Structure 1
Amino acid sequence: MKVRETELPGIGHKAEMITRNNEKLAIITHDDGRREMYHFQEDDHGESISGILLNDEETRQIAAILGGMVYKLKAFETVEVAIDKLMIEWFKIEKNAPAVQQNIGDLSVRQYDQVTVIAIVRKSYEKMLNPEPETVIEEGDTLVISGERQEIKNLILKKLSS
């Protein structure tokens, strides 16, 4: 992700980020602790499509949520203890990723990568538990995959990310 930071004299600080989907997020941190957040569409970084003003307490709560400090997945509470190398990862399929329009079987994730796709959440929020090998992966899908850390990392780098 590209991040550009700018000092705003008399106001505070601005950070602008461009995501892999080419969406822009701008965060202005005021000297008094307030934060303004703006979201821009992928095809127009000039005009925001949404904005929100947060106080310092709200900002810290959101940071804790985003950083994973507030909510720990119930599955991890037992899985980490029982099988310390097994991981479950949520990975969003971006535009132009090699996996787009490929089916799970063609990617051979189980055979060569020792990783299992245990669920897919579509852009429409449709959930597919234990998808078949013939299931086609679409742009915007979030794959829920399980395996060992290094195997998941290899799969993401080789076959899922653009």
Structure 2
Amino acid sequence: MKMRESELPGIGKKIEIFTRSADKITIILHEDGTRELYHFHENDDEECVSNVRFDDEARQISAILGGMAYKPKALESVEAALDKLMIEWFKIESGSLADQETIGALGIGEHYHVTVIAVVKKDRGKILNSGSETVISEGDTLVISGERNELTRLMKEKLTASERDV
């Protein structure tokens, strides 16, 4: 794979990717956080066949492409060694019970057996090794680790919008 990166003044960056199979993909990284993906015709790397614009979903798509949402068979032995341990990135939703609460008050470790690895504040500040006194807010992203069923229960019960607000 070959890559070429260039600045787009006032816009962001352009990354051109040429795959082993000679496909050309161009990704535009806008300064406002949006992303554009362009796929070019196999016989003419100047003729765009399709394009897609992404906002927040770019991170989720990159996780899928990077193999975080799909587990190839080759990784089964790694999962067995970790015994169902998962790491998730979860953005605190507006109206969730977690908004303006501390990690300790939510019982994340005590009741859900989940560890908060880091908190990425909505202003992009980071809190590593956050303690029970760390306050989390709507729009913050938690990096959490635990077993899949406990992570799912925590996200459903505390981190997503409660039914009273829906």
Q: Structure 1 counterpart of 2:61, which letter?
A: L
Over the matched positions of the two proteins, sequence identity in percent amounts to 46
Correspondence for 1:136: 135
Mapped to 1, the partners of 2:138 and 2:112 lie a distance apart of: 21
Mapped to 1, the partners of 2:141 and 2:64 lie a distance apart of: 22
Change (3 A) 1:57 1:51: closer
Tell me, yes or no, if the aligned pair for 1:79 and 1:86 is still in contact at 8 Å: no
Correspondence for 1:70: 65
Change (3 A) 1:53 1:88: closer
Equivalent runs, 1:101-112 vs 2, <5 Å = 101-112=100-111
* Structure-2-length-normalised TM-score: 0.55
* Equivalent residue pairs, number: 109
Tell me, yes or no, if the aligned pair for 2:37 and 2:51 is still in contact at 8 Å: no
Mapped to 2, the partners of 1:53 and 1:80 lie a distance apart of: 32
Measured after TM superposition, the shift of residue 97 of structure 1 is: 1.0
Measured after TM superposition, the shift of residue 104 of structure 1 is: 0.2
Change (3 A) 1:51 1:70: closer
Structure 2 unaligned residues grouped into runs of 5+: 1-33, 39-47, 162-166
Measured after TM superposition, the shift of residue 93 of structure 1 is: 0.5
* Structure-1-length-normalised TM-score: 0.56
Change (3 A) 1:134 1:85: same
Change (3 A) 1:53 1:151: closer
Q: Aligned with 1:99: secondary structure?
A: coil
Q: Aligned with 1:68: secondary structure?
A: helix
1:82 maps onto 2:77 in alignment: no
